Amino acid sequence: MSRYKSIVVLTGAGVSAESGIKTFRDGDGLWENHRIEDVCTPEAFARNPGLVQAFYNARRRQLVGAAHPNPAHLALAEFERQFAGKFTLITQNVDDLHERAGSQNLIHMHGELLKARCLKTGAVVPWNEDMDSTTPCPCCKQLGVLRPHIVWFGEMPLDMEKIEMALEQCDLFVAIGTSGQVYPAAGFVQLAAAYGAHTVELNLEPSQGHNLFSEHYYGPASQTVRQYFETLS
Active site residues: 110
Name which of 205 and 230 has its Cβ closer to ligand BV8: 205
- In contact, 82 and 1? CB cutoff 8 Å: no
Least Å from the CB of residue 226 to ligand BV8: 12
Three-state secondary structure readout of 151-194: CCCCCCCCCHHHHHHHHHHCCEEEEECCCCCCCCHHHHHHHHHH
The single residue among 7, 19, 21, 24 that binds ligand BV8, judged by CB under 6 A, is 24
Nearest Cα to 96, choosing from 56, 54, 67?
67
In the complex, what is the shortest distance from the CB of residue 85 to ligand BV8, in angstroms, rounded to a whole number?
25
Residue 19 contacts ligand BV8 per CB under 6 A: no
* Secondary-structure percent of the chain, ordered helix, strand, coil, rounded to 5: 35, 20, 40
220 is an interface residue for ligand BV8 by CB under 6 A? yes
Helix (H) or strand (E) holding 8: strand 6-11
Contact flags string 186-205 toward ligand BV8, x per CB under 6 A: -----------------xxx
Round to whole Å and give the CA distance between 43 and 204: 33
Query: 213: which strand partners?
Result: none
17 binds ligand BV8 (CB under 6 A): yes
CB of 202 to ligand BV8, least distance (A): 7
Q: CA-CA distances (angstroms) from residue 4 to 120, 187, 198, 214, 233?
A: 45, 22, 9, 15, 10
CB of 16 to ligand BV8, least distance (A): 9
Helix-helix angle 71-82:221-230, to 10 degrees:
20
Indicate the residue among 46 and 156 with the shorter CB distance to ligand BV8: 156
Q: Which of 7, 118, 150, 170 binds ligand BV8 (CB under 6 A)?
A: 150
156 counts as binding ligand BV8 under rule CB under 6 A: yes
* Sole binder of ligand BV8 in the list 160, 162, 230, 233 (CB under 6 A): 160
Give the nearest residue (CB) to ligand BV8. 14
By beta-carbon proximity to ligand BV8, the closer residue of 5 and 218 is 218
Which residues have a Cβ under 8 Å from the Cβ of 119 and sit 6 or more positions away? 145, 146, 147
Please tell me the distance from the alpha carbon of residue 77 to that of residue 46, in angstroms, as a whole number.
38
Site for ligand BV8 in 88-147 (CB under 6 A): 92-94, 110
Which residues bind to ligand BV8, rule: CB under 6 A? 12-14, 17-18, 23-26, 37, 40, 92-94, 110, 150-157, 160, 177-179, 181-184, 203-205, 207, 220-221
